[in-house]
Copies of this chain bind each other. A is one copy, B any other.
Amino acid sequence: MPSSMSQASLPVFEIGLNALSGVLDKAEVFARAKKIDPSVLLAWRLAPDMFALARQVQIATDQAKNGSARLAGVEPPRYEDDETTIEQLKARLTRTVDFLKTLDPKQIDASAGREITFPLGPNNKGQMKGDDYLNHFVLPNFYFHLTAAYAILRQCGVELGKRDFLGAIPLTMT
């Protein structure tokens, strides 16, 4: 079985977003046990000029939905970016995984050589070949925000391990 663009994107995002949902579950349990308002965690940052946890989760979903949609040649859905609770962020993760399931893997597989144009900041546009866009833009950005969200919660004291980050990957352990 050869590798494919759809295999390198759809299940990767689905597993990563579901893993992040599990990480947020642990954050919620932690907040309750420590009597911390969960909004304190959602506003935590690794540095003053880095995004807070809630925004990291939003951008992780944006990379997944926008990247996959552009590769599939369909318009990505727009979200309101108005989540203020863990429950709402988890709903956004679920909504994104549900959207990924509507995409046609064959269209993504056919996108490797196609030029993709995408917004880059408020005023610019980026252009990359489909496989470059996935390998060198969408995946690194997706994992950046996934890791930042995880690291924020580790810093806050939530008990998380690498398996929480990796999620339900197809791994046989012996």
Contacts and interface: CB of A to CB of B under 8 A. Distances in A.
A165 B130 CA distance: 20
Interface in A103-137: 109, 112-113, 120, 124-132, 134-137
5 contacts: A12-B140, A15-B136, A46-B155, A47-B155, A126-B174
A123 to B, nearest CB: 10
B170 A129 contact: yes
A7 interface: yes
Contact of A169 (B7, B136, B144): B136
Given A135-B11, A165-B144, A173 B46 contact: no
Chain copies in complex: 2
B1 A3 contact: no
Interface string A142-159: 011001101100110100
Interface of A: 1-5, 7-8, 11-12, 15-16, 46-47, 49-50, 109, 112-113, 120, 124-132, 134-137, 139-141, 143-144, 147-148, 150-151, 154-155, 157, 162, 165-166, 169-174
